[in-house]
Structure 1
Amino acid sequence: MTGDRPLLEIDGVLKRFAGDTDPVLDSVSLAVAKGELVALIGPSGCGKSTVLNMLAGLVEPTEGQLRLNDGKARISYIFQRPRLIPWRNVLRNVEFSLEQTRLSASERRRAAAEAIARVNLEGHERKYPHQLSGGMQQRVALARGLAVEPSVLLLDEPFGALDALTRSYMQEELLGIVRGSGTTALLVTHDIDEALLLADRVLVMSSRPGRIKHELRVPFGPERSMDALLHNPEYGRIRSELRHLLRPEVSEALVG
């Protein structure tokens, strides 16, 4: 962390849903600096997505506080499934995120076209979702999130539904987009390799109730590729460390 105030802060958050005896999250605190990409990794059901839902304002914490320390900041939320509108073409799907803004129709069209270009979908603007591959659909969802020029990107396993080859390509594409724009991002993932490729820091969560049990600062610098990481001996050591930290949590979640 730098001396500047973090853009995102979560302070002592506990979340218990109605009817549940035990909380989903307990005593979760984290801070994310402007321009930082932080990955949350942990077993299924540990509350990773609940953290994103609270930051997006979809869920209220039971206890604790969440702070976005920029009154003008815009948040975009990108999900595992593209959630495109089937009767809208690519351009109109991307424009959808801009329709609640004060932009004119021509300004919305221009912003959507720029976002489509950023995800390398030029030439596909008039196609409909059913005409696109899964990877292309997810790029449309990414463009829709980027069109509003967000200060914060919330990424909930955005490539989890893709095949391995497409996922690898999309990960490196996202890395370039986020690094190039200076956007702050919080990524939820089950994928250790994805976390180490994309993140500045990896936060390991415990099984339910979710707590942050370990923080790892990723030492590979902003310019990365999976090919380069696979040839780095330090990558193998760190990957093994994370697997060791996650193993008891995954086992406990399975038993639970």
Structure 2
Amino acid sequence: MSRPGEFSTHQRAGDHVVKMLDVDHRTGMGIAVAAHRAGARGLRTYVDTLVDAGVALPPGLEIVSENPLAVRHQWVSGPTLADAAADDVDSFVAAVARIGQWLRALESTDARIDTNLANFCLRRDRVVLVDVLPPLVPSTRPEPHDSFDALFGALCFDTPITLDALVGYAVRALLKASTIEGARRFLPVARDLLESPHRRAAHGFPESWFRARASVAIRTLEDDEWISELHEFFALTSVLVFRELDEPARIRRIQQVHRRIEERNLL
């Protein structure tokens, strides 16, 4: 079955797993609805685009249903990338670097990937994207109805923001699983991921949120006195917490984060 925050329901069947799109998912419902409308043909185009960009997908991936939209593939028994940070720092760092390469390769295409570390597994020391539902297709990006939609849409579709978020996810996972010395092995990769010809000065929300998170992450690797700031700022800018707020509370949170960014000179 699905875990909180997932867009699909999982059903394990022996050596395979079937994943069905949840069009009623409260996070990014517009994205899921757009995927449902595009159907199997849209999903096939999306998967082909990922493969052409070099993204490693689970063995035997196939579309098995259009309504509901569902895929089937071999079960990947390796650890999720979030868990792998505790087992082998070097493999984790190499995997995150590879995901960054995929993001850049996809930037000029009509496909994106969700960089939540739980969406990736290590299979024979090779990182694999195990979730393709819902397909993230920029040309079908829904119009935001509120500030959460704006935040979530930017996270999903704007590659520089997605790269900023990936750096933050990776550093947080390493700090939970390793020592600061071990986490610092990620620093060269983190700096490389944040170098982009399309990277511009952050302005406004939500770009400033994820740019500031990446900035705090880098500063923490350089100076462990920033560790408490990282945990506090990541809690303040939690996407899941932001989702649960009503719109007036979200506006207050945006203002609060803006003040924190200015006070701590995070951009």
- TM superposition score normalised by structure 2: 0.26
Query: Between Structure 1 and Structure 2, which shows a larger proportion of strand residues?
Result: 1
Higher RCO (C-alpha 8 Å, min separation 6):
1
